[in-house]
Structure 1
Amino acid sequence: MRFAELSPFPLISAYLRREFLRSFFLCLSLFLGIALLVDFFDRLNEFVKYAAPASTILRYFLFKAPLLLTQAAPAAALTGALLSLGLLSRHQEILALKTCGLSPWQIARPLLLSASVLSAGVWGWNEAVVPYSFHKSRYINTVEIKKKPFKGLFNERGFWYHGEQVFYHVEHFDSHTNTLLGLTIYTLDDHFQVHSLIEASQAYWQGGW
């Protein structure tokens, strides 16, 4: 079923959807730019201290951007919805739509459906792109900028370990049974792109994992 068929006013639905998406991407670009600027000035002394090349700094922020996009998307969706509705109301378009017989639900439905699609897209982006790009940015910051060895990283989502052309992510380690829980293995090719992905609910130590 096509999106337009969900509404008796397909042209109006398409217009409302377009206005929402325009506001969403405008807000997303604005929030991303602000986040990058804040991160840049927060790390400026560090870049100067380690004499980081401009190309390395640029690569760091390129790989950091997917995470910032994910973090900014919910606020951008909310702000975009409010902005698009505000502009429609300012130009009396909301009143015109009500005069044509559209209920508040029919006006809001294209925005809600678009937001649902965006949420699914952000979820897929967060699962497929962010883990690799985030830890690539950490690798650049640790190894290429600070000139330090890069191995593992603990955070609130578990433990990351960087081996030879491979990333390991473990959600939890049970020291009593030597068991890894929620293991994900990202194998990289020579161009540092994800070549394969292996997931296991558990891994046991029996002379090796």
Structure 2
Amino acid sequence: MVKIIPRYVLQHFFPVFWLSILAFTGLYLIIDFFEKIEDIVKSALPAGHMIRYFLCKAPLIVTQGFPMSSLLAALISLGILKRNRELVAMRAAGIGAMRYAGPIVAASLGLCVAQFVLDESVARPLNKEAQEFWQQSRKKGSPIWRHENVWFKGRDTIYQIRIYDRSNASMEKVSLFYLGPGFKMTQRLDAKSVRWNGRKWVAREGILLQFSEDATKQEWFEERELDLPETPSDFAGIETLPEQLQWLDLLRYARRIRQEGYNSAPYEVELHLRIALPLTSVILSLLGICIVMRQSIQGGIAGGLVIALVVAFLYLTVLQIGSSLGSVGILPPYVGVWASCIIFLALVGYLWIRDYQ
């Protein structure tokens, strides 16, 4: 009996969950296809390119569908059991609510962890590949990994780079401003190109200016190894959107730009969102359970679905507003992101206590 009930409940939960994921992903891909159909026709993209693009994009869509699918699965699976009076029979047999609601909560926690892992290890890298592939296929121009007019602040150096190509770790038309105490420029280097040789940066065809109180010394060179602490990995985040970085890279990047005195709020908001969004699966599942428990047997699943979708919309709206306020600095990033989670968890706790006092 101990194992039968959880297994029986999950046999209702997971089919609904996977069906919801399939429907959500299919609908999203269809909408995305029709949004891009004009570009596809103009660019005369082969069918193989389109298939590759949508296959790379699909994992991110799947992970984004976890929260709403968890809500629908919790609501419909328990709704079916309640409509068939099986929950009434369980209560009559002295079986507490945690025996049939607990497996759904545990499954939602597992899906929460799975969403985070899949999102970071599979979905985001593939989505980034999809975006790069789409840009290359459409424009057939300079690849997305070439960045122009880049300013980058290193440890004691400011880089002005006309073109940075991260595919082969090279810079073209570079100016390096070496800074001393008090943000005073001590040297300036201008070079036609700077490339990474595996150990150090090597500048070619340039001039080095050394500034002192008495005079300015200049030195022309054909090739010169540069003693710089930065490596190509430090330039990995150039013009990269927060959502394209993996969580650990985003954490390091946010810390670095905060230490340099720049605004790190958008990156910190994204950091908190990466954890808060998977937890949405658990919160919405709990809300779905509470809604089913409060309905009468004659209430119907459709009515519960409408209520659940309205509540989910409110939750995501509050989350979006809080994140926006955190990004612009009106609220601390962690407050902006986690406020909605705390509010709706408090609502779940209130409903649960009220129903089972």
Fold-level similarity (TM above 0.5): yes
Structure showing greater radius of gyration is 2
- Take 1:164 and 1:14, find their aligned partners in 2: how far apart are those partners? 53
Deviation at 1:177, TM superposition (A): 5.1
Deviation at 1:162, TM superposition (A): 5.5
Instruction: Return the match for 1:34 from 1, 23, 27.
Output: 27
Q: Which whole-Å deviations, capped at 9, do the CAs of 1:104-126 have from their partners, x for residues lacking one?
A: 22210000001101111111101
Instruction: Return the match for 1:9 from 2, 8, 17.
Output: 2
Distance 1:68 1:164, change over 3 A: farther
Instruction: Return the match for 1:112 from 105, 113, 120.
Output: 105
Match in the other structure for 2:286: none
Unaligned runs of at least 5 residues, structure 1: 1-7, 154-160, 183-209
Q: Which amino acid aligns with 2:167?
A: G
- Take 2:257 and 2:109, find their aligned partners in 1: how far apart are those partners? 37
Instruction: Give yes or no for the alignment of 1:163 onto 2:157.
Output: no
Instruction: Return the match for 1:47 from 23, 40, 47.
Output: 40
Mapping for residues 90-105 of structure 1, pairs under 5 Å: 90-105=83-98
Count residues with an aligned counterpart: 167
Q: Which amino acid aligns with 2:17?
A: F
Match in the other structure for 2:77: 84
- Take 1:34 and 1:162, find their aligned partners in 2: how far apart are those partners? 36
Deviation at 1:81, TM superposition (A): 0.7
Instruction: Give yes or no for the alignment of 1:150 onto 2:149.
Output: no
Deviation at 1:22, TM superposition (A): 1.3
Distance 1:131 1:123, change over 3 A: same
Match in the other structure for 2:211: none
Match in the other structure for 2:294: none
- Asked if the contact 1:56/1:145 (under 8 Å) is kept, the reply is no
Q: Which whole-Å deviations, capped at 9, do the CAs of 1:165-202 have from their partners, x for residues lacking one?
A: 999346447499599x99xxxxxxxxxxxxxxxxxxxx
Q: SS in structure 2 opposite 1:163? A: coil
Deviation at 1:100, TM superposition (A): 2.2
- Take 1:101 and 1:135, find their aligned partners in 2: how far apart are those partners? 52
Distance 1:96 1:47, change over 3 A: same
Q: SS in structure 1 opposite 2:95? A: coil
- Asked if the contact 2:5/2:99 (under 8 Å) is kept, the reply is no
Q: Which amino acid aligns with 1:108?
A: A
Which is worse superposed, 104-113 or 89-98? 89-98
- Take 2:61 and 2:139, find their aligned partners in 1: how far apart are those partners? 22
TM-score, structure 2 length as denominator?
A: 0.42
Distance 1:177 1:114, change over 3 A: closer
Percent identical across equivalent pairs? 28
Deviation at 1:13, TM superposition (A): 0.8
Which is worse superposed, 24-33 or 89-98? 89-98
- Take 2:90 and 2:258, find their aligned partners in 1: how far apart are those partners? 62
Mapping for residues 108-147 of structure 1, pairs under 5 Å: 108-147=101-140
Mapping for residues 48-63 of structure 1, pairs under 5 Å: 48-63=41-56
Q: Which amino acid aligns with 2:102?
A: R
- Asked if the contact 1:89/1:95 (under 8 Å) is kept, the reply is yes
Which is worse superposed, 82-91 or 62-71? 82-91
Distance 1:19 1:42, change over 3 A: same
Distance 1:74 1:95, change over 3 A: same
